[in-house]
Amino acid sequence: MDTLELVRLNLLSPMVLAFAVGVAASLARSDLKFPDALYVALSIYLLLAIGLKGGAELSGTPAATVWAPLLVTLLIGTATPVWCYAILRRLGKLAQADAAAIAAHYGSVSAVTFLAGLTFLQRAGVPAEGFLPALVAVLEVPAIIVALIIARTATGGMNSWAGALREALAGKAVVLLTGGMFIGFLSGQEGVAQVAPFFIEPFHGALTLFLLEMGMVAARRLRDLAAIGPFLIGFAIVMPVLHGILGVYLGTLAGLSVGGSTILGLLAASASYIAAPAAMRIALPQANPAFYLTASLGITFPFNLTAGIPLYYALARLVHGGG
């Protein structure tokens, strides 16, 4: 399959099309509105499902193949926020709190982007390691901690440092992912088979429905686009690509397959919009949410969903000597 074909395959997937429909509905000012409860229910479902599946596959994976990917993931989670902060301060001239908050978002991870990536690989017939959800869980929190340490060092005082930390670690995304992995790991393939008609088979459809809503949310964020300025818009596209290259490369070094390296690239490239915003509102309220939400949700998320996924896959094939 050549690159154009991959892009087409991705753009014409139900997921990406549903995202587009959501954007269009929002721009047409439709009265279509997902109940909050549906949005929350779908995210609970998706996170738990991905954990379950990952846990079940982890139960059959020798520890030897897992430690290297885990390590590079941890490395990515702690290093990326550092240089994001430096770039945002030096080149972007952003205030300390704003820079730290954005750094937290780009160092952390978006679970939905991850799911979209897995679905792409599946459609393209590319296998990927089963334990990848574990990497999502590992990548979620470190960047938030690093960014808060930076902010504290830079600004001195800070509200509710400990509280923010505890909440990030016991945050729902982490609890559902690790909880799902725990269930999947202990009940094994056989246990997961029993719940597969609920958690595994309808998964892509539920993700499609969720992306319709994400499209509406992302479109609303775009109204703030003018406020965030050209530098941040550029940052929200260039930075994911750089992180994507890094992730693909480190993933390959750590022994991941083409599919796995694609996903690690995508994880590195993705920006959080669940765990990080909540932590930032509590610990760094002086940081302007219009900056980090518009960048991560309005720009980086759609970018990765549409262009990023096939790009990192093409890169992974290149690095693996295929392509």
Partner 1 sequence: MATVSLKLVTVIAEAVLEERLVRALLDLGAKGYTLSEVRGSGARGVRAGGPEVNVKIETVVSPEVADRILAHLAERYFAHYAVIAYAETVEVVCGEKYT
Residues 137 and 128: their CA atoms lie apart, in Å, by 17
Rule CB under 8 A: say whether 5 interacts with a copy of itself: no
Rule CB under 8 A: say whether 320 interacts with partner 1: no
**Site mask, partner 1, residues 142-171, x = CB under 8 A?**
-----------------xx--x--------
User: Judged by CB under 8 A, how many residues of this single chain contact a copy of itself?
Assistant: 60
Q: Which stretch binds a copy of itself (CB under 8 A): 73-81, 197-205, 223-231, 241-249?
A: 197-205
> Using the rule CB under 8 A, which residue among 288, 296, 300, 304 binds partner 1?
288
Q: Which does 221 bind (CB under 5 to 8 A by kind): a copy of itself, partner 1, none?
A: partner 1
**Site mask, a copy of itself, residues 24-43, x = CB under 8 A?**
xx--xxxxxxxxxxx-xx--
Q: Which does 293 bind (CB under 5 to 8 A by kind): a copy of itself, partner 1, none?
A: partner 1
User: Judged by CB under 8 A, how many residues of this single chain contact partner 1?
Assistant: 20
CB crowding 197-234: b at 16 or more within 10 Å, else e: eebeeebbebbbbbbbbbbbbbbbbbebeeebeeebee
User: 189 vs 53, 140, 285, CA distance in Å?
Assistant: 9, 26, 44
Residues 286 and 247: their CA atoms lie apart, in Å, by 31
Distance in Å, CB of 1 to a copy of itself, minimum: 14
Which is closer to a copy of itself, CB of 110 or CB of 178? 178
Q: Residue 109 burial (CB < 10 Å; 0-12/13-18/19+)?
A: buried
Distance in Å, CB of 87 to partner 1, minimum: 24
With CA atoms as reference, report the closest residue to 110 among 228, 182, 252, 207: 207
Q: Which does 199 bind (CB under 5 to 8 A by kind): a copy of itself, partner 1, none?
A: a copy of itself
Counted residue by residue, the chain has a size of: 323
Site for a copy of itself in 104-163 (CB under 8 A): 119, 123
Which is closer to partner 1, CB of 129 or CB of 167? 167
Residues 165 and 160: their CA atoms lie apart, in Å, by 9
Which is closer to a copy of itself, CB of 236 or CB of 274? 274
> Using the rule CB under 8 A, which residue among 195, 225, 245, 290 binds a copy of itself?
195
Q: Which stretch binds partner 1 (CB under 8 A): 9-17, 52-60, 291-299, 310-318?
A: 291-299
State both tokens at 302. Answer: 């759609």
Site for a copy of itself in 51-110 (CB under 8 A): 52
> Using the rule CB under 8 A, which residue among 20, 281, 307, 320 binds partner 1?
281
Q: Which does 212 bind (CB under 5 to 8 A by kind): partner 1, a copy of itself, none?
A: a copy of itself
- With contact defined as beta carbons under 8 Å apart, do 124 and 1 qualify? yes
Q: Name the amino acid, one letter, at 145.
A: I
Contact set with partner 1 (CB under 8 A): 36, 159-160, 163, 217, 220-221, 223-224, 278, 281-282, 285-286, 288-290, 293-294, 297
